Amino acid sequence: MGRNCKVLIVGAGPGGYVAAIRAGQLGLDTVIVEGDRAGGTCLIRGCIPSKAVIHAATRFEELGAHAGDGDMGISLPDGPMLNMGKLVEWKESIVDKLNSGVEMLLKKAGVELVRGWATFRDGKTCDVETSEGSVKITAEHVVLATGSRATELSFMPFGGNIISSTEALELGELPERLVVIGAGYIGLELGIAYRKLGCQVEFIEALDHILPLYDAELVRPISMWLRKHKVPMHLSARATEAKTRGKTTTVGFTDADGKAQKAKGERVLVAVGRRPCTEGWGLENMAIDLDGPFVKVDTRCRTSMRNVWAIGDLVGEPMLAHKASAQGEMVAEIIAGHRREFDPVGIPAVCFTEPEIIGVGLTPDEAKEAGIATTVGKFPFAASGRALAMQAGTDGGFVRITARRDDNVIIGIHAVGAHVAELSGEFAHALEMSARLEDIAGTIHVHPTLTEAFAEAALAGLGHAIHVAK
């Protein structure tokens, strides 16, 4: 059985399914192949389920604060009870709903979804192993959107008590102790969530600081939370081995002084990064250049082979779902004859820790390294009425704007604090539109909202913030 089409997309994650929907909208005969469920890592076992677990963990911790004498005048006779199996069921219900939604959107756009594993014979032809047999698909254009997978440690392969973020989101029982190897955004998001649920969590991080994507000032509130909640953080430490006896796994590691140490847990979460999925689907049969572990593309996501495109995690950092979606939409439009190029001013990155972090554009240190003279405006959430009314202003959070000194054009916006992820759109929009400090300060922001802190930070950059003393 064979199928010819205009566009063949391999991988139905946030890059692939967006490319398919847009291609379908533009009237292109489109087939998308997915070996798992539509939605990819982000929807099925990453972004969405992790945020559901983080939300549930936060709700559990908040309810616990009302036990006994209570908080805010609200008290509960007993603390909350956790049913981990029910939590996972609730998380899965959200995933199922969104998965069905993606499949409905693909169908509505006229896209054919083929469930199976694609293996390429050459740059334009693949065989898809489906439950009903093999299907040969030949296309004029091929879009590779195979995503990424969790990185394994050679001496600590996944299995049993050694888990990746995928298994961490599927545990039916809460472990008493969790060892997390890696204090990047994935390790910290899940480690903090499990700590909120009552698990004893311990981190082993090879670098001398946590969250390497963010500067020390931004990370400080997260470090404060970890210390307050008695979470051991071993920095400049390297895991060396893992031995399991019964239900407990002991992780051997060397600390910052080179001394041998041990950490024990019923589960060990390995969160040392992700790598692109370049194996198992016939990349070696395609005349495509690589850039290190990634597929090499230009600013239009074209590979070295004519009419073969690649998007998302497969093509490099940042490995973010929204980057993949933007590239997927662009590629579909280019195939349809539109003039497009992937050239964003900045791509916002969010870490759903406690508190949350958002960053887009250059930090003050990065601007200095680039030889740019800057003006920095900063406003603390401790001076925000809305933040304090939400019990969110005492975590050390703030909004910081970095602008060019000569013309006040904003080149970077960063924030840390409760719910700051929801400000990411306004931050990215300001950078993309080349806003100046005066543009933000002159835009009336609703009171009382967290977005007022953005306007106040702009005022601070201009030298006359209203609600914080100089």
CA distances from 102 to 13, 52, 325 (A): 10, 18, 13
Within 10 Å of residue 157's Cβ, how many Cβ atoms?
Answer: 11
Which parts of 216-355 are beta strand (E)? Answer: 233-234, 238-245, 248-254, 260-265, 267-270, 274-276, 290-291, 294-295, 308-310, 349-351
CA distances from 361 to 114, 340, 367, 410 (A): 39, 22, 9, 9
Q: Which of 197, 21, 178, 172 is nearest to 90 (CA)?
A: 172
Cis, peptide link before residue 355, omega less than 30° from 0: yes
Six token digits for residue 128:
């898809």
Q: Cα(248)–Cα(241) distance, rounded to whole angstroms?
A: 14
Strand partners, 244: 249
Amino acid residing at 269: L
Q: Which of 273, 80, 251, 277 is nearest to 179 (CA)?
A: 251
CA distances from 390 to 165, 303, 419 (A): 30, 48, 10
Q: Cα(350)–Cα(344) distance, rounded to whole angstroms?
A: 17
Six token digits for residue 290:
């690589």
**Residue 49: burial class (beta carbons within 10 Å; 0-12, 13-18, 19+):** buried
E strand or H helix at 361: strand 356-361
- The counts of H helices and E strands in the chain are 13, 24
Name the residues annotated as catalytic.
Answer: 447
Q: Cα(138)–Cα(119) distance, rounded to whole angstroms?
A: 12
Six token digits for residue 325:
């979606």
The values of phi and psi at residue 432, to 5°, are: -65, -30
Amino acid residing at 299: T
Q: Which of 331, 311, 334 is nearest to 321 (CA)?
A: 311
3-class state of residue 456 by DSSP: helix
Residue 64 exposure: Cα atoms within 13 Å on the Cβ side:
12
Q: Cα(434)–Cα(411) distance, rounded to whole angstroms?
A: 8
